A and B are shown apart, each in its own frame.
Chain A
Amino acid sequence: MVTSAAAPGSTPVYRSALRGALVALIFLAALLVVWEGAKLLGGDPWRFKNDAGQETVYQPPFKWPIATDLSLPHVWKIWDALAAPVQRQQEQSLGGFLLGAAWHTGQEAALGLLAGAILGFALAALFVHSKLAERAFMPYVVASQTVPILALAPLIAFAFGNGVFGIVVVATYLTFFPVAIAQLRGLSSPDPRALELMRSCAASRWTILWKLRMPASLPYFFASLKIAATASIVGAIVGEGNPGGSQFGLGRSILNFNEQYGSGPEKLWAAIIASALLGLTFFLAVRVVELVVLRGRPDAAAG
């Protein structure tokens, strides 16, 4: 009749988060094993000191283009590079530099995500109340997403300048769409009888939006926000990478390290990993907010 439910979703959430972290760690370990396994079987020869302290050369049995030091540096080389200076004659380490770059890019992406979420939310709220507005604007909203961001980013930089603002606009551009689409669905999700119930209480449109449509849309909102969170990083990086876009951030680092790839491939790899970690951080941050906001709901622990 009644399930045991003193405080819904307190311990199970912790446990599932722990389990998720454990699985992620195991998978990371497996990835590293495959990575270095490929180097061991088909990479370039490498030197190491044996037990007796003599320098020895290890000769892999095969030679695969994908596993050369240029395509796939050793994990430990990337690791070592993080502690090494970012450029010759500079004090700052690559790790510190990337941390600063990620912080910079993260701020731009967060602003873009915020603006995109608000814009997407506002569009959905407009569309759910006006079929006319939906018919008029929706085609443009969809069309906007079929144009590659690479083509638009220079235009945006031209219109809004090369500063942070232009970069935030690119991130906003990439994030508002998933939010608008999912939010339109979410705001329309309440049972028609729930809407009639609100009307029978003489609730205004605003009250219905606030007390019924909004809370009902939250699971949809967070699903789209997770997509938008990672898209916002891509947007910020592309925005920074614009010709003359930015002196800072991961986007600029990726372009610079790309040019220096021949002399130090591990730097680009480190920047790519930093970008991925930043995206993951955003994703997890949204997930945490979702768990807090949706606590107590039957489906809170899912997705």
Chain B
Amino acid sequence: MPQPVVAISSVSKTFATASGVGTTALDRISLDIQEGEFVSLIGPSGCGKSTLLRVIGDLTAPSDGTIEVNGKPARQARMDRDYGIVFQAPVLFDWRSVEANVALPLEIKGMSRTQREQRVGEMLDLVELRDFARHYPYQLSGGMQQRVSIARALALEPRILLMDEPFGALDEMTRERMNSEVQRIWERTGTTIVFVTHSIPEAVFLSTRVAVMSPRPGRIVEVIDIDLPRPRNEDTRESKRYFELITDVREKLRGGHNSADGSGAGSAIPSAGRTLAEGSVG
């Protein structure tokens, strides 16, 4: 087995609360992610999937356990600019044109102007927005803005791309188009992707593996291999295996949620009674 790109070993994260008890967002999570994988973290709201992503990206420190990225601590990986990150909102800088937004990480790295221009051009070609290079973010639709933010995240050719519910704010039609687009980008760049979502179809359609999480405390219930053939397309969405896998993920989600509710002692979160349906149907 080659060295994993991301090695998570018994990572826990506890948030202090006003009562002083502390909420356990992540409970001894271990997961290895291999080069070129597309791993989705799925679970209902409050299961810690976004926290796990933030811990991987060194945006928040774990309370316990270790994260290694490319064989080095997460902090070092961040300082080496090994990450690209895409949030649910595009988080574009509205005073920068599309091309200047994509160039931002390159500027921070200190790349020369000519190198930047070339790289930005490649990235805009990748997300098919070359014609909009000089537009400003407010002139673009939500889906186009999110494509710009993907181009920005990929500009530094990161070893690993972290995506935190990137299409959660988009309508269903746009989301499906964006899923195909991400698949195409992933196949072309070969970047390892960690993808947080609460949409089962999205996770199944995109991933090589889906890690199903349960809340309170946040745990990985099961990691499901998605053996759908590639390239995946509209036929995939109508195939029998696709529906089987969706059912599989859904049952694992339900199981994890029920057991968590059953043993939910010490839970300090008021929305503990929230049903799975709300959290998982995208």
**Chain A residues proximal to chain B, CB less than 8 Å:** 1-3, 5, 8, 191, 193-194, 196-203, 207, 211-212, 215-216, 218, 294, 296-298
Contact = CB atoms under 8 A, between A and B. Distances in A.
8 contacts: A196-B85, A196-B87, A200-B59, A201-B108, A202-B80, A203-B108, A215-B95, A294-B95
B73 interface: no
Interface in B232-249: none
A199 B54 CA distance: 12
A216 B79 CA distance: 24
Contacts of A203: 108
B91 A298 contact: no
Contact of A2 (B105, B109, B132, B162): B132
B141 interface: yes
B136 A298 contact: yes
Contacts of B94: 297-298
A296 B136 contact: yes
A297 B136 CA distance: 8
A215 B78 CA distance: 24
B89 A191 contact: yes
Contact of A202 (B59, B93, B108, B135): B108
Contact of A296 (B79, B87, B95, B105): B95
A199 B59 contact: yes
Interface string B69-100: 00000000011110111010101011111000
Contacts of B104: 201, 211
Given A193-B89, A200-B78, A200-B83, A297 B95 contact: yes
B233 to A, nearest CB: 24
B91 A191 contact: yes
Contact of A193 (B91, B96, B135, B144): B91
A201 B132 CA distance: 24
A250 to B, nearest CB: 37
B139 interface: yes
B156 interface: yes
A193 B95 contact: no
B138 interface: yes
B268 interface: no
Contacts of A198: 108
A215 B136 CA distance: 15
B140 interface: yes
A197 B83 CA distance: 10
Nearest to B139: A5
B145 to A, nearest CB: 12
B156 A194 contact: no
B117 to A, nearest CB: 18
B81 A202 contact: yes
A203 to B, nearest CB: 5
